Amino acid sequence: MLKKLFGLDKKKEIPTEEVLHSPMNGTYVKVEDVPDPTFAQKMIGDGFAVEPSNGEVVSPVEGEIIQVFPTKHAIGIRSLSGAEVLIHIGIETVNMKGEGFEVFVKEGDKVQVGTKLVEFSLDLIKEKAASTITPIVITNADQVQSLKLEPVSEVVAGKTPIATFLMKAE
């Protein structure tokens, strides 16, 4: 009864539209231009990529961490509306086996736009991986009703809005 009286029984509103911000500082790259066919052909999902200018990754959405890869090169986040966002730091960075990566979150953590997720050595990725370009894709794209990308070039971590998306109604 007290919950009802004080309005505490209300479920959190599920947003109808959400914004994907840049998770890193750098230069915007179209997903089709990612030097990996799995991402470029949108086999994993639709989104965008960033050529990072430094080694810090922040959350591009408000939500919950649903996966931290053991090799620390990728993180999955479920947004408030249910979009499953994958941040894949660099191309072929799985082969680095976590070297040069430090993760600041774990599965189940709640995050806001701008919450620090990972720090990585940009120089080490340049040396040991195929590319530093970092794809950010919605992996459950079949549940996305619409995805609109903004015309941007230089992006700022947690600040620059890059994509607006709407999930399909249940």
Within the chain, which residues score under 50 in pLDDT?
1
Mean pLDDT across the chain:
93
pTM: 0.91
Judged by DSSP in three states, 142 sits in: helix
Per-residue confidence (pLDDT) for residue 16, from 0 to 100: 74
Per-residue confidence (pLDDT) for residue 9, from 0 to 100: 53
Convert the pLDDT of each residue in 134-167 to its tens digit. 999 999 999 999 999 999 999 999 999 999 999 9
Per-residue confidence (pLDDT) for residue 69, from 0 to 100: 97
Q: Could you tell me the maximum CA-CA distance found in the chain, to the nearest angstrom? A: 61
Q: Bridge partners of 149?
A: 163
Is residue 88 annotated as part of the catalytic site, yes or no? yes
- State the Cα torsion 78-91-44-87 to the nearest 10°: 10
142 C-beta neighbours (distance < 10 Å), count: 8
Delineate the domains of the chain, giving CATH numbers in brackets: 16-167 (2.70.70.10)
Q: Pick the catalytic residue from 62, 88, 91, 118.
A: 88
**Of 73, 79, 165, 49, which is closest to residue 121 (Cα–Cα)?**
73
Q: Bridge partners of 102?
A: 119
What backbone phi and psi angles, to 5 degrees, belong to 69? -65, 140
**Of 92, 89, 74, which is closest to residue 129 (Cα–Cα)?**
92
Gap between the Cα atoms of 155 and 163, Å rounded:
12
